[in-house]
Amino acid sequence: MISAADVKALRNKTGAGMADCKRALEESDGDMQGAIEWLRKRGASSVAKRADREANEGIVVARTTADGSSAAIVEVNCETDFVARNDEFVAFANAICDVVLHNNVSDDDDLWASQYGDKTLGNLRDEILAKFSEKIELRRFERISTSGHITDYVHAGSRLAVLVEFDGTKPSTEAKPLTRDVAMQVAAMQPLFVDKSQVDEATLQKELEIYKQQAIQEGKKEDIAERIAQGRLGKFYEDQVLIEQTFVKDPSRKVSDVIGEIAKMSGGDVKVVSFRRYNLGESV
């Protein structure tokens, strides 16, 4: 019988997590030294020593199911670009994304307990920690499902990834390259909203006040400054609202025109309803 006191004592000695300590003692029949060696083999005992380090490198992975009805996006961090480019680290990040995509996991504990082949993701994590003497952590993950279609885009180097959710008629085969272009637009131009309806009133009032104060500082009277502020709001929409943006691959068109083309090719109505954009190391 493994006591709570033994688990706590092992945690104090190694800095490993409580669950890892309990399992180590169980695997070692309660032998403290054996449990320490079990943890060392899996890298778990050195996690605490790495906790105060910065893990700003890593990769972002995104993928969809074959029918585009579900998608997952994850960010896994490490300390150096050397580890981020290592095949085993990349495989670990892809394994996490696969599990998120095909399982409705609710939190980190649920995720690490999930099976991947003949191991759990927690087992894979321990193996990665044992191989590399770096802080390695799953920073964030998300899974989305839709009755429409989701397109993914991962930028070269896997430091930036995007998911775009389309509603309505599913894009035809010939239209799918254009849906990827829309995802690339999100990657390149960093919109905050899909369309004007998503811009909340507080954001609008804040922008209007900024534009009004700018005009007053330029010497305009208050009533004129208010009209100027309303006019400048159009530029805000063009910068921050996806379908109002100029299409990066063809500046003669807007993104709304591209979505219209996707709809025409697909034989029905198509609209963008949401997007996810993960940029490695950004503030969340």
The enclosing domain of 67 has a CATH number of 3.30.479.20
Q: Assign 227 to helix, strand or coil.
A: helix
Burial of 202 from C-beta contacts in 10 A (0-12 / 13-18 / 19+): exposed
Q: Coil, strand or helix: which one is 119?
A: strand
Answer whether residue 59 is part of any domain: yes
Domain housing 61? 53-145
3 state SS of 73? strand
Q: Which residue is listed with tokens 């939190």?
A: 107
Query: Per the structure, how many domains does the chain have?
Result: 3
Same domain assignment for residues 39 and 117: no
Which tokens belong to 45?
A: 């005992």
For residue 145, the cross-strand partners are 70
Cα separation, 143 vs 49, in Å, equals 31
Q: Of the residues 103, 128, 145, which one is the last residue of a structural domain?
A: 145
- Annotate 206-222 with b (16+ C-beta within 10 A) or e (fewer): ebbeebbeebbeeebee
Structure confidence at residue 194 (pLDDT)? 98
- Both 15 and 73 in a single domain? no
| Domain assignment present for 65 | yes
Asked if residue 234 belongs to a domain, the reply is yes
- CATH number of 214's domain: 1.10.286.20
252 within some domain: no
Query: Residues 199, 207: contact at Cβ < 8 Å?
Result: no
Closest among 163, 159, 172, 161 to 194, alpha carbons compared: 163
Q: Same domain, yes or no, for 128 and 107?
A: yes
Q: What is the pLDDT of residues 78-92, one digit of tens each?
A: 999 999 999 999 999
Look at residues 189, 185, 168 and name the one whose alpha carbon lies nearest to residue 177: 185
The residues of the chain scoring below 70 in pLDDT are: 14-15, 43-52, 284
Strands 119-120 and 137-145: unpaired
Lookup: tokens for 207: 């922008």
Per-state percent for the chain, helix, strand, coil, to nearest 5: 50, 20, 30
**Using CA atoms, how far apart are residues 240 and 254, in angstroms rounded to an integer?**
13
Residue 155 lies in a domain: no
The one-letter code for the residue type at 54 is E
Confidence (pLDDT) at 21: 86
Same domain flag for 78 and 141: yes
- Indicate whether 12 and 45 sit together in one domain: yes
The verdict on residue 220 lying in a domain is: yes
Residue 284's pLDDT is: 63
Q: What is the pLDDT of residue 248?
A: 97
Shared domain for 14 and 78, answered yes or no, is no
Q: What letter does residue 284 receive in the DSSP assignment?
A: -
Q: What is the pLDDT, as a whole number, of residue 249? A: 97
pLDDT value of position 8: 84
281: left (phi over 0), alpha (psi -120 to 50) or beta: left
| Confidence at residue 45, expressed as pLDDT on a 0 to 100 scale | 57
Q: Determine the pLDDT at residue 279.
A: 97
Residue 173 domain-assigned? no
Is residue 150 situated within a structural domain? no
